[in-house]
Amino acid sequence: MRHFGATSVLIGVLSFVLVTGCSAVNGMGTGTPQQVPEKQEQQEQQTVSVPPDPAKRPATPTEPEAPPKQPERPEQAVENTEDLAVYKGPVEHIFFHPLIAYPELAFDGDAMSKGYDDWFVTVTEFDRIIQALYEHDYMLIDIHALYEEKMENGKKVITPKELLLPKNKKPLILSIDDLNYYDYMLENGNVFRLILDENGNIATYSKNPKGEEVISHENEIIPILDAFVKQHPDFSFHGAKGVIALTGYQGVLGYRTNELDSPEYESVKKQALQVIARLKETGWTFASHGYGHLDAVRVSYDRLVADTEQWKKEVEPLIGPTSVYIYPYGSRVETGSPKYNYLVKAGFPMLCSVGPAPYLKYTPNSVMMDRRHIDGISLKTQQDRLKPLFDAEEVIDSVRPR
């Protein structure tokens, strides 16, 4: 019931650690945080390798060749500039993985169940979280509103941008990691892909536990948040929604755009581009999550470069350029290191890691930001830290294993 009133991965090997790694909290930033983060314990995650099985990939449902000419437009709140004030407090950034649409598949006692319990949230939990955030006066903002690029003495520099918000509102950035719908997700309770519905709006395609095809607007973050903002326009500043962080080794958004030699490549690419265009129209932006979900701290410089170049070759042409790099595994490379300099030079001045509290640090050529992981682990073990956002005890879904 909707309460509106109320994841290194080697190519060819699907490792569950790619999911758990997104929430590793070993990458605290350097510099002065907005709030002094508490010391974090690094968590070692067990890798469960699951070889991909292309034969189990679902057939592509029949979809329109192109979206309707006049799809429904997102409603945006009209801000009165006289009611805006400069915001100088901490900026919260929370992130999720794709939602558990079918808990009976996620929590079925197999080798993947614990990982799903640790690193995902259910639809019910997400509904409760966004309602609580709204009631706590949070407002979604575009991550690019935090900084601007200027030319000084012939050099491009990054500077903080004055953040103007409606009075009594607090800024919130929301991001989604691994919205690629890897092969293992198709058997463990996630939806299969994002699609356009008959009205040209974002929906999901999946098969339920009975094997029945399902098209829904109520089992994934994007259509749920789209509907919530439509009902509560004051939850979004200038129509902002969130950041979609994509890898590339199994395509994007449920479309296997990595299979460049497939006879269906052009058709698959066309469908993906239609969905991407609609996402951009409705306030969603994109980030690089690396091509192969590699730990930037642990891999060699050359491998990081090759991985980034492959992402730019296969994924960037689909989503367009992005200035945001969201570190896989939450790792953050050392500021000023060759890897850091490479990422910035490659066009990623916004570098996002994982931490327990708001953190935002500016350098002349980058912005470093920490994100809170919202998942089973944080809901069960970090309830006090989450208090500024929501009451975790009220959020937890009873369907979770106890």
For the chain, the average pLDDT equals 85
Burial 134-167 (b: 16+ CB within 10 A, else e): beeebbbbbbbbbbeeeeeeeeeebeeeebebbe
- Torsions phi, psi of 175, nearest 5? -130, 155
What mean pLDDT is predicted for residues 111-138? 98
**Nearest to residue 339, comparing CAs of 27, 21, 5?**
27
What mean pLDDT is predicted for residues 122-134? 98
Rg (CA), the chain: 20
* Residue 52 near residue 181, CB atoms below 8 Å: no
How many angstroms separate the Cα of 374 from the Cα of each of 5, 33, 123, 125, 335?
Answer: 22, 20, 13, 10, 26
pLDDT exceeds 60 at position 62: no
pLDDT exceeds 80 at position 110: yes
Residue 21 tokens, joined = 């790694």
pLDDT tens sequence across 163-205: 999 999 999 999 999 999 999 999 999 999 999 999 999 999 9
Query: Would you call 316 exposed, middle or buried from its count of C-beta atoms within 10 A (0-12, 13-18, 19+)?
Result: middle
- CA 294 to CA 287: how far, in whole Å? 15
Q: How confident is the model at residue 72 (pLDDT cuts 50, 70, 90)?
A: low
Q: How confident is the model at residue 53 (pLDDT cuts 50, 70, 90)?
A: very low
Q: What is the pTM of this model?
A: 0.83
- CA 283 to CA 298: how far, in whole Å? 34
- CA 56 to CA 116: how far, in whole Å? 20
Q: Which residues contact 54 (CB under 8 A, 6 or more apart)?
A: 183
Beta bridge partners of 122: 100
- Return left, alpha or beta for 254; rule: phi > 0 is left, psi -120 to 50 is alpha, else beta: left
pLDDT exceeds 70 at position 359: yes
β-pair type (193-196, 202-207): antiparallel
Residue 69 tokens, joined = 């000419």
**Alpha-helix runs per DSSP H in 3-92:** 17-21
pLDDT exceeds 50 at position 32: no
Q: How confident is the model at residue 73 (pLDDT cuts 50, 70, 90)?
A: low
pLDDT tens sequence across 319-328: 999 999 999 9
For residue 82, the model assigns a pLDDT of: 63
- CA 370 to CA 357: how far, in whole Å? 7
Centre a 10 Å sphere on the Cβ of residue 45 and count the other Cβ atoms it contains.
18
